[in-house]
Amino acid sequence: MITIKKDFSSLTEAKEEFLLDCKVKNLSKSTIKNYDECFTYFINYINNTFENFNLKLDMSKSVVSGYIMELKSKGLKDSTINIRIRAIRCVLYYLMRNEYINYFKISEIKENNIEIELYTDNEIQQLLKKPNMKKCSFAEYRTWVIINFLVATGVRSRSLRNIKIEDLDFDNELIYIKVTKNRKSIIIPMGKTIKKVLLEYLRIRKRRKNWLFVLQFRGRKIVKRFTWQYHKKV
């Protein structure tokens, strides 16, 4: 166990110990990166707000509350603030369990529910309508295939972006989803309709390797901002 110094640098040292513990527990790189970034923002706030901050004596609920008010004043969305709170809470609760700081409860703020505008049944039918193959671009056609895939499978945007052609088992009509939220692979059935769509798509794409959905015929896999605009509403 490290001995935490009673100066501001000790907070950074505490963060590093927490991150090391995360790596030992084999947490994902994205999760560790989120903890690191969010807690670094918190450290910067403390550094700019307090002089001679003593981790053991000064860390308290009021310090966290002050940081939350700071985030609100900057116009951050409630959901974004809660992402930072959850990360900070994980680090501080770790410190509490190891008796580096005194215990206090850290709660998320109440989010103002924003109603997501969903597609109407008529709009979905229009999206599922196959484009004119003689006139449409590859991008338009690929978008149509993606929308069909989302409706047929219900997979997350991140999962969809990371599907490779080799993950499609047409003989047994199965789709292997290897990138998921909980990092556990899943297998979902391939319906007759989406199977037909995918087989045609692969014939048009010609290339039989790497990512299923690409930016161009032989390009890189599609990016997050492309799929999110459809996924959040379908």
Judge whether 165 lies within some domain. yes
Residues 133 and 83 grouped into a single domain: no
Judge whether 25 lies within some domain. yes
Dig out the tokens for 39 from the structure: 């807690």
Judge whether 18 lies within some domain. yes
Bridge partner list, 176: 187
Judge whether 184 lies within some domain. yes
Residues 41 and 136 grouped into a single domain: no
What is the pLDDT, as a whole number, of residue 1? 42
Dig out the tokens for 229 from the structure: 């605009």
CA distance 48 to 40: 12
Dig out the tokens for 60 from the structure: 């308290």
Among the candidates 97, 130, 147, a domain finishes at: 97
CA distance 119 to 100: 51
What is the pLDDT, as a whole number, of residue 218? 52
| Contact status, residue 90 vs residue 45, Cβ threshold 8 Å | no
What phi, psi does 43 have (nearest 5°)?
-60, -40
Exposed e or buried b per residue across 47-82, where buried means at least 16 C-beta atoms within 10 angstroms of its C-beta: eeeeeebebeeebeeebbeebbebbeeeeeebeebb
pTM, two decimals, is 0.51
CA distance 11 to 41: 12
Among the candidates 64, 97, 130, a domain finishes at: 97
Please enumerate in sequence order all residues whose Cβ is within 8 A of that of 73, keeping only pairs 6 or more positions apart, or say none: none
Residues 136 and 190 grouped into a single domain: yes
Element spanning 150, H or E: helix 138-153
Residues 141 and 79 grouped into a single domain: no
Residues 224 and 141 grouped into a single domain: yes
Judge whether 135 lies within some domain. yes
* Helix ranges, 25-77 (H): 29-49, 55-58, 61-73
Number of domains in the chain: 2
Residues 197 and 128 grouped into a single domain: yes
Judge whether 144 lies within some domain. yes
Q: Which domain holds residue 34?
A: 9-97
Judge whether 156 lies within some domain. yes
Judge whether 3 lies within some domain. no
CA distance 169 to 190: 8
Question: Any idea what the CATH number is for the domain that residue 219 is in?
Answer: 1.10.443.10
Please, what are the averages of pLDDT over each run of 10 residues along the chain (234 residues)?
46 92 91 94 94 89 96 91 95 92 93 66 77 86 90 87 90 90 86 93 77 69 57 50
Residues 152 and 215 grouped into a single domain: yes
